Structures are given as structure tokens and as C-alpha cells.
């Protein structure tokens, strides 16, 4: 009887372990960790989600591109006194091997007040340390965030 119990436990662990590994090793993981780190004002955790050569940009409403240095972004979040909370409404993931693209409509709250909304576009690579963000560009929706949420939520 003891042998059956041990065998069953071994088979059960073998079956569930790959599922857990797949969830942990997902292109979505560093994205979720990034926004958790923003809520925690944790600059080191923010930086840990990116590759060493990552780029962070915003597509402005006039068509120009604004680049932000990742270190300055992380430091600014760390020093912020307001509660920063970005809600991701959905994930559109495209992956092939060690490359993934993730599109996420978002709504940003500043001290629990709706501030703005838009789209995040992430390019991620799978490294020896798991999935990392190589490139993030976002925009802000030029219109009603309530309508944006209804359309994307």
C-alpha cells in the first residue's frame, strides 16, 4: 500500500510540475512583475524585468516618439509618493521560440483616480534568466477612457 501511495505521489508531482513551470516561464510574467513593482515603488524589481539593453518609449499624440531612460524611469517610480496602479485589460500574446510580442490595453490610476488609458506594446526575449522585456512602447488614448475600457475590457 505504501508503495502505491509513493508511486501515485511521484506521478502526480511529475504531472503538475511542468504546468507550474509553464506558468512561471511565460512572456506575461515579467509584464505582471513590472506593474506589481510599480505598485510597490520597487525600482530594482522594475529593472529586473528588462534586458540590459532594453528601450522604453511613448508614441506621442503628435506622432513623435519620446524615449525614457530605463534607470530614470525606475528611479522616478521608486521616489513617487502617489500610489501608481496600471490595470491591464487584456493580453494579446504572439510567441515563436524565444521571441514574443504582447499587446495590452491599459488603464492607469494615480492615487486611485483614473489618469489615462492606452496601449502597451511589449517585445520580449527568452534569456537564460527567463523572459525579459527588450522593448516597451506605449501610447495614450485620445478620448474617453470609459469608452476605451468598454471596448477593450
pLDDT score recorded for residue 2? 46
pLDDT score recorded for residue 24? 64
pLDDT score recorded for residue 49? 99
Query: Is residue 42 situated within a structural domain?
Result: yes
Query: Is residue 123 situated within a structural domain?
Result: yes
Number of compact structural domains in the chain: 1
pLDDT classification of 153: cutoffs 50, 70, 90:
confident
Q: Are 46 and 34 in contact (CB under 8 A)?
A: yes
d(Cα 18, Cα 78) in Å, to the nearest integer? 35
Query: Is residue 62 situated within a structural domain?
Result: yes
pLDDT score recorded for residue 25? 83
Residue 43: CATH number of its domain: 3.10.450.50
Query: Is residue 133 situated within a structural domain?
Result: yes
| C-alpha neighbours within 13 Å on the C-beta side of residue 110 | 6
Query: Is residue 4 situated within a structural domain?
Result: no
Q: Determine the structural domain holding residue 83 and report its residue range.
A: 26-152
pLDDT higher than threshold 60 for residue 8: no
Amino acid at each position: 500500500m505504501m508503495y502505491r501511495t509513493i508511486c501515485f505521489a511521484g506521478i502526480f508531482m511529475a504531472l503538475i510540475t511542468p504546468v507550474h513551470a509553464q506558468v512561471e516561464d511565460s512572456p506575461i510574467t515579467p509584464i505582471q512583475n513590472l506593474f506589481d513593482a510599480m505598485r510597490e515603488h520597487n525600482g530594482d524589481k522594475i529593472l529586473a524585468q528588462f534586458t540590459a539593453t532594453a528601450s522604453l518609449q511613448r508614441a506621442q499624440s503628435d506622432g513623435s516618439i519620446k524615449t525614457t531612460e530605463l534607470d530614470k524611469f525606475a528611479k522616478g517610480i521608486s521616489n513617487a509618493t502617489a500610489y501608481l496602479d496600471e490595470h491591464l485589460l487584456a493580453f494579446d500574446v504572439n510567441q515563436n521560440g524565444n521571441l514574443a510580442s504582447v499587446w495590452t490595453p491599459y488603464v492607469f490610476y494615480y492615487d486611485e483616480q483614473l489618469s489615462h488609458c492606452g496601449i502597451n506594446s511589449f517585445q520580449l526575449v527568452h534569456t537564460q534568466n527567463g523572459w525579459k522585456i527588450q522593448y516597451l512602447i506605449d501610447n495614450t488614448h485620445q478620448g474617453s477612457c470609459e469608452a476605451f475600457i468598454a471596448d477593450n475590457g
